Amino acid sequence: MTKGKVIGVNGNMISVRVDGEVALNEVGYVVLGDKKLKSEVIRIQGDRAEMQVFEMTGGTGINDEVEFSGELLAVSLGPGLLGKVYDGLQNPLPELAERLGFFLDRGVYLEALESEQRWRFTPKVNKGDKVRQGDTLGTVPEGIFDHRVMVPFNFLGEYTVDWVIDEGDYTVHEKVATVTDAKGGKHEVTMAFEWPVKRPIKVYSERLRPEEQMVTKVRLIDTFIPVALGGTYCIPGPFGAGKTVLQQITSRNAEVDIVIIAACGERAGEVVETLREFPELNDPRTGRTLMERTVIICNTSSMPVAAREASVYTAVTIAEYYRQMGLKVLLLADSTSRWAQAMREMSGRLEEIPGEEAFPAYLESVIAAFYERAGRVRLHDGSIGSVTIGGTVSPAGGNFEEPVTQATLKVVGAFHGLSRERSDARKYPAIDPLESWSKYEGAVEPNATEYARGIVFRGDEIDQMMKVVGEEGTSLEDYLVYLKGQFMDSVYLQQNAFDEVDRAVSVERQQHVFRVMMQILVSRFSVESKEEARHYFNELRQKFLDYNGAEWMSDDFKSLETELEQMISERDAGADERGEKLLKSLTTEHSHA
Amino acid sequence: MRKVYSKIEAISGNVITVTASGVRYSELAVVSSRHGDSLAEVIRLSEDQVALQVFTGGRGISTGDEVRFVGHPMQISFSDNLLGRIFDGSGRPRDNGPPLEENMIEIGTPSVNPSMRIIPRNMIRTNIPMIDLFNTLVESQKLPIFSVSGEPYNPLLARIAMQAEVDMIILGGIGLKYDDYLFFRDTLEEGGAMSRTIFFVHTASDPVVESLLVPDVSLAVAERFALKGKKVLVLLTDMTNFADSLKEIAITMEQVPSNRGYPGDLYSQLAARYEKAVDFEGAGSITTLAATTMPGDDVTHPVPDNTGYITEGQYYLRGGRIEPFGSLSRLKQLVNDKTRPDHRAVMDGMIKLYAAYKESLEKKSMGFRMADWDNKLLKYGEMFEDQMMDLSVNIALEEALDRGWSILAECFDAAETGLRTELLKQYWPHKEETA
Ligand SMILES: Nc1ncnc2c1ncn2[C@@H]1O[C@H](COP(=O)(O)OP(=O)(O)O)[C@@H](O)[C@H]1O
Ligand SMILES: [Mg+2]
């Protein structure tokens, strides 16, 4: 193996003189007494390599030895990933704690997959079968899923199955099959293998358009700015606007099979909430705990910065791995800005020519390549899997005109921008309903949602005007639009994350409730005065909020709906032609599936 | 004895370069000059060139001064003897007590394993209604006090130090004005709190670089006490000075600045300190309050901005009061359901009405007609500011809640408050009591 000597130390970057071949992204270890510090090659010039060290570098010195591994930075893939809590380099954190106690002492690396655990393996191929990368050799049950044991993704070309083990209980390191390549070479296969994190897994027949909705159960998102399975979206917002809470809600309620949470460079305390609560919370769809469908990659703000850079790749690689099993995977990264900052720190140490705000010139292409790893694909066996990526962005000063937000907006399919104004007013989720957009199709007729958004927009304009001319100077007609805008904001756009019922609203219910609300939005109400109008809308709102709080299709729900319909018809003075048409289009059961 | 180097190759700002071998990254050295000894830390190694930041600054250092490497990184003595003592940023006594050299510990310890953290659960009472009632401080929380210079953030910190229910206090002064330092010392002495306090004080007249050590020294000591079961409150003032020292070194080292001259790792540097706040299961805890002055009252300035992303909320100090808007304790919901049944409702209700008061005030200033409701709000707003927001108000949470109800009753009819009927039944004061 190649060796080297340290010739420079600058923060978490070391310069090394090497005595042989090295590869970009190759892993090496700085030898420091009885400790070895994991590092990755990030630049090579002649016999000089620059490496980012995934640990604090205090105590390293000139001429310290460096051992290269010959391997690229990789993660272990196999059964047992679900429910795990890893750091950015796939070190299992609870196991580290068992060994080290409270603190993350450097230089200790544990196996990512439990080597003792036995999995019930059922073979799916026979001797003589032809197989290629990604094909299923057998399955093991992992929680509620059939985990596919596949031909490793780095096996290129066609192979013939030589031998496959009988059904039984085996560990991830036991040989379960042997295959022969075209030249007669024999290869052993176990249930686990490694894959370099910075290389996308592309073992599928074709990439499909992301045309199926990913339901988040947040009304504002699903109805107005939907996300698609295999699509990408971003949540930029100033601090305290609700990015993390929104992702926490989504990690619980999203209609997907598996959720990968990448806590990247933010507070450790927030991950703890997930860590402690998920094992207790039931997933209503499966009856099992949420933890059983979740993997947490946790490289919080005080953990080593280089490992933060790696953590998003670790997360997306695990996401791609489960996509190979025909599953719907959601990756939530909080925050991609911290990942970009990790790149910036390293770029500065490499003395690269800086771009805007000192971010490296390749920032855009790296962000694009990351989101490009999302996608909905048809696998070789015809089944369909997807990786959906949602990333938060933490723009400096809350200003979206900064490099990370801008680079992200260029590549994502939906933008959920959080506004300080809305979060200050405690209007949650504080997504700006006017600025945000989505290129994906949602569950409600787009013409109708456009109409509804128009009311919010006009209502907002009228509100601004009223601040100048006062209520007296506003026409009753305008005032009604203003009230409708306010009404829709409080009963549909805002959603109570702490209410048992309101916190997760099915698409079916959204479609239903949206139609009821539209009756109000399109109606020309007969009211005599602003006072009367305000009073009426206050009552409507109160009733609608109760309605939102009632269990779907319960007796309570139905009777509240009847009361609402009654209140509407008492004042209803008909709708204009466009409104009439839209209402009709909603009654003819609109749904994408 | 280790080798002494007597040739300094370069001096630039507070950074010197020497040619030396066998030196380790982050190692400490002593630079001896005519003006005395100074500590210095290795911040870059390149072949045999060693760059060090000199904690007393580069001023007056000559190329012929001696540099002696000590073979270990920065350390501080740790024992109960620290209590009641006052040190500078490098751990030298500032009082007349003896220097401490036993049981030296390293500063800048590794981070806590996230899976060992627990969900915060204990309120820390301060008897300041704007904190206890509206933005409860929680054990293990990290919170900055965002403030314009000139605001009384140091008196506020001193008061919290005196009143907070904790076992001990560590005060880290960073660029502290000498008067403020004396103020802290005298206040704690007079209040009889000195024996449970440790000071690490860097004053505005001390060399800038030395301030860089203050947070790490304070937090390393806090961590040890917390591991021994103590509930420690760490007060840092002012973290903007700390960030400015980072900036100064970064510029000297010719790092490309990312935003208004601050280095690209400002976020990570601040986070490494703030994330030390923790509750050790089965032992003690660290809670951190840090004054952060906002240059130009601009919360988007890189220091408050990065801080806001790291900390668990913030207290805004403006016009001598803690602002109800903008201030946020992200952890309050973990504790304020266990205090008194009306806590959350009073908190939400009073803030909503105060927001309405602000709107009426604006309408009034624009010359619009004041309705009955507006006049009620105007009365309420003034009472709220005088009897709740004023920093001189010093009452326990329960008394503050009672006071809240009596303010509401004096200004509104019960139904106008928007509070739930069951609560009104239980807590709404009877007329004769408020008359
Ligand atoms: N949907 C929500 N419902 C209720 N409160 C919320 C919601 N979103 C955010 N908050 C409040 O705002 C605080 C900050 O939210 P957080 O998600 O941590 O912000 P960010 O990640 O954008 O900095 C939370 O602690 C909570 O008090
Ligand atoms: Mg957040």
Q: End of a domain among A46, A73, A100?
A: A73
Asked if B46 is an interface residue toward chain A (Cβ–Cβ < 8 A), one would say yes
Give the residue-averaged pLDDT of B3-18. 90
Same domain, B373 and B421: yes
> Is residue A85, in this structure, part of any structural domain at all?
no
- pLDDT, one tens digit per residue, over A79-127 is 999 999 999 999 999 999 999 999 999 999 999 999 999 999 999 999 9
Q: End of a domain among A73, A100, A134?
A: A73
The answer to whether the CB of B77 falls within 8 A of the CB of B104 is: yes
> Considering just the CA atoms, what is the radius of gyration of chain A in Å?
27
Asked if A480 is an interface residue toward chain B (Cβ–Cβ < 8 A), one would say no
How much is the pTM? 0.94
Ligand 1 atom closest to A495 (CA): 1
Same domain, B92 and B187: yes
Same domain, A295 and A347: yes
Residues with Cβ within 6 A of ligand 1? A 237, 239-245, 428-429, 497; B 330
Same domain, B242 and B270: yes
Task: Pull the structure tokens for residue A171.
Answer: 């560990």
pLDDT of residue B372 exceeding 90: no
Q: What is the pLDDT of residue A230?
A: 98
By C-alpha distance, the chain A residue nearest B140 is: A269
Select, from the ranges A471-485, B224-238, B345-359, the one with the highest average predicted confidence (pLDDT). B224-238
- Of the candidates A2, A31, A1, the one whose C-alpha atom is nearest the C-alpha of residue A14 is A31
Task: Pull the structure tokens for residue A573.
Answer: 């003075």
Q: What is the pLDDT of residue A589?
A: 52
pLDDT of residue A591 exceeding 50: no
Asked if A542 is an interface residue toward chain B (Cβ–Cβ < 8 A), one would say no
Q: What is the CATH number of the domain that holds A426?
A: 3.40.50.300
> Is residue B399, in this structure, part of any structural domain at all?
yes
pLDDT of residue A587 exceeding 80: no
Q: DSSP for A285-323?
A: TTSSBGGGGEEEEEE-TTS-HHHHHHHHHHHHHHHHHHH
Angle between helix A476-488 and helix A446-469 axes, rounded to 10 deg: 120
Reported confidence tier of residue A590, pLDDT bands at 50, 70, 90: very low
Q: What is the CATH number of the domain that holds B44?
A: 2.40.10.170
Q: End of a domain among B33, B53, B73?
A: B73
pLDDT of residue A592 exceeding 50: no
Same domain, B299 and B165: yes
Q: What is the pLDDT of residue B152?
A: 95
Same domain, B128 and B257: yes
State which of B311, B328, B332, B337 you would mutate to test the pocket of ligand 1, scoring each by most atoms of that ligand within 8 A of its C-beta. B328
pLDDT of residue B366 exceeding 90: no
Q: What is the CATH number of the domain that holds B295?
A: 3.40.50.12240
The answer to whether the CB of A241 falls within 8 A of the CB of A430 is: yes
Q: End of a domain among A420, A438, A456?
A: A438
Q: Residue B378 Cα, ligand 2 centroid: separation in angstroms?
A: 36
Q: How many domains does chain A have?
A: 4
Decide if B119 and A276 are in contact by the 8 Å CB cutoff. Answer: yes
Tell me how close the Cα of B290 comes to any Cα of chain A, in angstroms.
17
Same domain, B222 and B296: yes
Counting one residue from chain A and one from chain B, the pairs whose CB atoms sit within 8 A come to 167
Q: What is the pLDDT of residue A588?
A: 59
Q: What is the CATH number of the domain that holds A181?
A: 2.40.50.100
Q: What is the pLDDT of residue A585?
A: 84
Same domain, A320 and A336: yes
Same domain, A332 and A377: yes
Give the residue-averaged pLDDT of A443-464. 93
Tell me how close the Cα of A21 comes to any Cα of chain B, in angstroms.
22
Q: What is the pLDDT of residue A533?
A: 92
Positive or negative torsion for Cα B165, B167, B170, B176: positive
Asked if B365 is an interface residue toward chain A (Cβ–Cβ < 8 A), one would say no
Reported confidence tier of residue B432, pLDDT bands at 50, 70, 90: low
pLDDT of residue A139 exceeding 60: yes
- pLDDT, one tens digit per residue, over A555-586 is 999 999 999 999 999 988 888 888 888 888 88
Same domain, A430 and A454: no
> Is residue A90, in this structure, part of any structural domain at all?
no
Q: DSSP for A480-501?
A: HHHHHHHHHIIIII---TTSTT
Q: What is the pLDDT of residue A1?
A: 86
Closest by Cβ to A302, choosing from B27, B111, B302: B111
| Rounded Cα gap, residues B166 and A309, in angstroms | 38
Same domain, A210 and A338: yes
Mean pLDDT of all residues belonging to chain A: 94
> Is residue A243, in this structure, part of any structural domain at all?
yes
Phi, psi of B316 (to 5 degrees): -95, 125
> Is residue A425, in this structure, part of any structural domain at all?
yes
Same domain, A226 and A242: yes
Same domain, B82 and B69: no
Which residues, including other chains, have CB under 8 Å from residue A550's CB and lie 6 or more apart? A501, A556, A557, A560
The answer to whether the CB of A7 falls within 8 A of the CB of A48 is: yes
> Considering just the CA atoms, what is the radius of gyration of chain B in Å?
25
> Is residue A276, in this structure, part of any structural domain at all?
yes
Same domain, A422 and A463: no
Residue position matching structure tokens 């925050």: A335
Q: What is the pLDDT of residue A535?
A: 87
Q: How many domains does chain B have?
A: 3
Q: DSSP for A262-286?
A: EEESS-HHHHHHHHHHTTT-B-TTT
- pLDDT, one tens digit per residue, over A152-181 is 999 999 999 999 999 999 999 999 999 999
Q: Residue A241 Cα, ligand 1 centroid: separation in angstroms?
A: 6
The answer to whether the CB of A541 falls within 8 A of the CB of A491 is: yes
Mean pLDDT of all residues belonging to chain B: 92
Q: DSSP for A123-187?
A: E---TT-EE-TT-EEEEEEETTEEEEEE--TT--S-EEEEEEPPSEEE-TTSEEEEEEETTS-EE
| Residue B197, beta-bridge partner list | B169
Same domain, A332 and A476: no
Same domain, B242 and B373: no
Same domain, A357 and A462: no
Q: End of a domain among B14, B43, B73?
A: B73
Asked if A59 is an interface residue toward chain B (Cβ–Cβ < 8 A), one would say yes
Decide if A341 and B46 are in contact by the 8 Å CB cutoff. Answer: no
> Is residue A98, in this structure, part of any structural domain at all?
no
> Is residue B144, in this structure, part of any structural domain at all?
yes
For atom 5 of ligand 1, which residue has the closest CA? A428
pLDDT of residue A53 exceeding 50: yes
Most A CBs within 10 Å: which of B115, B246, B247, as the mutation test of the A interface?
Answer: B115
Same domain, B180 and B248: yes
Is omega for the bond preceding A335 within 30 degrees of 0, making it cis?
A: yes
Fill in the amino acid letter for A198: K
> Is residue A103, in this structure, part of any structural domain at all?
no
Reported confidence tier of residue B431, pLDDT bands at 50, 70, 90: low
Residue A36: its H or E element: strand A35-45
Query: Could you tell me the residue range of the domain that residue A210 belongs to?
Result: 206-438
Same domain, B52 and B90: no
Same domain, A467 and A423: no
Same domain, A39 and A129: no
> Is residue B338, in this structure, part of any structural domain at all?
no
> Is residue A91, in this structure, part of any structural domain at all?
no
Same domain, B50 and B178: no
- pLDDT, one tens digit per residue, over B374-390 is 999 999 999 999 999 99
Termini Cα distance of chain A: 54
Same domain, A452 and A419: no
Q: End of a domain among B333, B364, B386?
A: B333
Asked if A52 is an interface residue toward chain B (Cβ–Cβ < 8 A), one would say no
Same domain, B85 and B21: no
Query: Could you tell me the residue range of the domain that residue B213 belongs to?
Result: 76-333
Decide if A358 and B24 are in contact by the 8 Å CB cutoff. Answer: no
How many beta carbons lie within 10 A of that of residue A389, not counting itself? Answer: 30
| ipTM of the complex as predicted | 0.91
| Residue B143, beta-bridge partner list | B289
